[in-house]
């Protein structure tokens, strides 16, 4: 049996109806399942002080952000536009942290001017950035609430190198071995020190590297010359999911083990912040696509079979960028693999990297059949492009077993107007 998607509300009948109404490719999300995942993660903290700051970069769609805002989640943003999205969808400024390197003067200003007092914290990643934030705060007559993101300088991180962030050659954070200049920068009267944060990497399948980074964060907090000013500690995100052949640790275990470490280091009563993205949305969003044709040739003494679909790397770039694997399954389902063969699933983009890998699928899968590229609810649409003149796919949010909010596929004319407006 081929495993069913982790979104049972997305039935074959509903997916077929969505394809008929919106065409393909179309992103389809189970909004209720995403909400339930957020609820479960919140519950993992019990009564402990905390903030779940959803990483907006994972999926920035308005219906999702509004649902998370209604649940009381905060937001981790990495651009001025993401900040505007978080605010526009109802997330309180006091629950927003601004991460990322570097932040422009305009982005700093927008963070400082949000609400009555600005956002919860600008997470500075260098002494130079702290000086820039202080200067903007002085100009605006504001007090900038800041945190320092540390780089734990881990020797290695068990994830793809493109999404490892806590090693000593990463552009992120202040190395723990060189914190003195950042601490000195906090002396500026326009800065209010709030906390320390860390981020080891993304798609972490075990707690090992995450907890190693958390230990360094906690030891840094313990040794911090301004320890008494700490208002929170932020252990970051990166909780991994199962893309088909992995066994990730449940997110509740990340929370439990990090909370235990906080108590061990004497910070059990200090609010713990986390920045999950992928784990809340990836398993509950899928790219609905259609088989265009099969191709079979004999080359190099062996038979080669391609299954060509109408979705490409412009829609889902992760396989091309990170060699990520997304399961491909027919919407109609497969009762047995006995009549299946290995197809190399590829898209229409004129790049050899437009390749979704080998998948075992029915030998007689016809042209026009609907298939799902699964577990793309994170870093799918947000990383999409118009490459080869292919517009952005439609997006559909399912709630209560039916289509709720939806956005049509970008019309061809919109692309033409953009390219011919000069």
Q: What is the pLDDT of residues 55-67, one digit of tens each?
A: 999 999 999 999 9
Tell whether the model's pLDDT for residue 221 goes beyond 80. Answer: yes
Q: Render pLDDT for 144-202 as a digit per residue (tens, 0 to 9).
A: 999 999 999 999 999 999 999 999 999 999 999 999 999 999 999 999 999 999 999 99
Q: Which of 209, 203, 329, 191 is nearest to 257 (CA)?
A: 209
pLDDT average, residue stretch 384-398: 97
DSSP assignment string, 265-281? TT-TTS-EEE---HHHH
Instruction: Check 39, 224, 340, 350 and give the catalytic one.
Output: 350
What is the rounded CA–CA span in Å between residue 46 and residue 268? 13
Query: Binning pLDDT at 50, 70 and 90, where does residue 1 land?
Result: very low
What sign results for the dihedral spanned by CA atoms 81, 45, 215, 322?
negative
If you compute the radius of gyration of the chain from its CA atoms, what whole number of angstroms results? Answer: 23
Query: Binning pLDDT at 50, 70 and 90, where does residue 337 land?
Result: low
What is the rounded CA–CA span in Å between residue 371 and residue 365? 10
The pLDDT, as a whole number, for residue 245 is 85
The pLDDT, as a whole number, for residue 299 is 86
Start-end of H helices in 175-317: 180-185, 208-223, 251-264, 278-281
* HSE-CB for 183 with a 13 A CA cutoff: 15
What is the rounded CA–CA span in Å between residue 5 and residue 376? 11
Task: Read off the tokens for 174.
Answer: 């202040």
Query: Binning pLDDT at 50, 70 and 90, where does residue 3 land?
Result: very low
Query: Binning pLDDT at 50, 70 and 90, where does residue 20 land?
Result: very high
- 262 catalytic per annotation: no
What is the rounded CA–CA span in Å between residue 107 and residue 235? 23
- Tell me the CA end-to-end span of the chain in Å, nearest whole number: 54
The pLDDT, as a whole number, for residue 285 is 98
pLDDT average, residue stretch 30-42: 97
Query: What residues pair up with 316 in beta bridges, in sequence order?
Result: none
The pLDDT, as a whole number, for residue 51 is 98
3-state secondary structure of 294: strand
The pLDDT, as a whole number, for residue 339 is 86
- Phi, psi angle pair for 380, to nearest 5°: -100, -90
Domains and CATH numbers, the chain: 12-26+283-420 (2.40.37.10), 100-274 (3.20.20.10)
Query: Binning pLDDT at 50, 70 and 90, where does residue 121 land?
Result: very high
Cβ atoms of residues 275 and 236 within 8 Å: yes
- Averaged confidence pLDDT in the chain: 95
Tell whether the model's pLDDT for residue 2 goes beyond 50. Answer: no
What is the rounded CA–CA span in Å between residue 121 and residue 95? 9
Q: What is the dihedral of CA 15, 387, 313, 329, to 10 degrees?
A: 20
- The fraction of the chain above a pLDDT of 70, given in percent, is 98
Which uninterrupted H or E stretch holds 290?
strand 285-299
pLDDT average, residue stretch 88-106: 97
């Amino acid at each position: 049996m081929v495993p069913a998607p982790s979104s049972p509300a997305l039935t074959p009948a509903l997916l077929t109806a969505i394809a008929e109404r919106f065409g393909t490719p179309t992103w389809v999300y189970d909004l209720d399942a995403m909400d339930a995942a957020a609820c479960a993660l919140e519950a993992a903290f019990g009564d402990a002080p905390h903030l779940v700051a959803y990483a907006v970069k994972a999926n920035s769609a308005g219906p999702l952000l509004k649902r998370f805002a209604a649940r009381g989640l905060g937001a981790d943003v990495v651009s001025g536009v993401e900040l505007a999205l978080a605010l526009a969808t109802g997330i309180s400024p006091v629950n927003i942290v601004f991460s990322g390197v570097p932040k422009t003067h305009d982005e700093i200003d927008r963070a400082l001017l949000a609400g009555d007092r600005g956002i919860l914290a600008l997470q500075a990643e260098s002494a130079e950035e702290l000086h820039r934030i202080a200067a903007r705060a002085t100009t605006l007559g504001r007090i900038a609430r800041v945190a320092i993101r540390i780089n734990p300088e881990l020797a290695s991180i068990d994830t793809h190198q493109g999404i490892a962030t806590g090693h000593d050659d990463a552009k992120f954070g202040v190395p723990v071995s060189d914190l003195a200049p950042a601490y000195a920068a906090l002396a500026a009267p326009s800065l209010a020190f709030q906390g320390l944060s860390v981020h080891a990497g993304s798609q972490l399948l075990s707690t090992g590297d995450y907890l190693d980074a958390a230990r360094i964060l906690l030891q840094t907090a313990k040794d911090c010359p301004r320890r008494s000013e700490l208002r929170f500690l932020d252990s970051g995100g990166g909780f991994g999911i199962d893309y088909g052949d992995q066994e990730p640790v449940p997110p509740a275990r990340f929370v439990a083990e990090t909370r235990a470490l906080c108590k061990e280091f004497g910070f059990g009563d200090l609010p713990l912040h986390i920045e999950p993205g992928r784990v809340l949305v990836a398993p509950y969003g899928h790219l609905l696509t259609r088989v265009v044709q099969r191709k079979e040739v004999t080359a190099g003494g062996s038979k080669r079979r391609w299954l060509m679909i109408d979705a490409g790397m412009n829609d889902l770039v992760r396989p091309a960028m990170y060699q990520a694997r997304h399961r491909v399954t027919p919407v109609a389902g497969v009762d047995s693999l006995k009549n299946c063969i290995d197809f190399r699933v590829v898209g229409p983009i004129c790049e050899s990297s437009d390749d979704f890998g080998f998948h075992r699928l029915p030998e007689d899968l016809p042209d026009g059949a609907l298939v799902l590229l699964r577990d793309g609810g994170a870093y799918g649409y947000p990383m999409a492009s118009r490459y080869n003149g292919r517009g952005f796919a439609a997006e559909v949010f399912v709630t209560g077993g039916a289509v709720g909010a939806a956005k049509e596929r970008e019309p061809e004319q919109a692309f033409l107007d953009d390219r011919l407006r000069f």
